[in-house]
C-alpha cells in the first residue's frame, strides 16, 4: 500500500517538474522575444518626432488599437533622454 502511494507521489512530482520546465521555457522565450523586439524597435524603429500624433500614424480599430498606441506613447516617454 505504501509503495502504491509512493509511486503516485513520484508521478505527481515528475509532472510538476515537467510543467515547471515547460512554463519556464515558454515564459523565458517569451520575455526574450519581447526584449529583442523592443531593442530592435528602439534602435531602428520610427519614433514620434516633430509633434506628430501617434493616432494619426495608425488606423486604430477598437479598444485594442487604442491600448497599443497608448503603450507605444508610454514607451516613447520612457526612452526619451
Residue written as cell 521555457?
25
At 50 the pLDDT is 47
Give dist(CA 4, CA 29) in Å, integer: 38
Kindly list the domain boundaries of the chain, sorted by start residue: 1-45, 47-81
At 48 the pLDDT is 42
Concatenating the DSSP letter of every residue in the chain gives -HHHHHHHHHHHHHHHHHHHHHHHHHHHHHHHHHHHHHHHHHHHS----TT--HHHHS---HHHHHHHHHHHHHHHHHH--
**Regions in the chain scoring below 70 on pLDDT:** 45-59, 78-81
Amino acid at each position: 500500500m505504501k509503495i502504491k502511494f509512493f509511486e503516485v507521489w513520484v508521478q505527481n512530482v515528475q509532472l510538476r517538474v515537467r510543467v515547471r520546465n515547460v512554463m519556464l521555457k515558454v515564459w523565458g522565450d517569451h520575455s526574450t522575444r519581447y526584449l529583442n523586439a523592443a531593442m530592435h524597435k528602439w534602435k531602428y524603429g520610427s519614433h514620434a518626432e516633430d509633434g506628430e500624433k501617434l493616432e494619426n500614424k495608425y488606423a486604430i480599430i477598437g479598444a485594442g488599437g487604442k491600448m497599443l498606441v497608448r503603450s507605444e506613447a508610454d514607451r516613447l516617454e520612457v526612452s526619451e533622454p
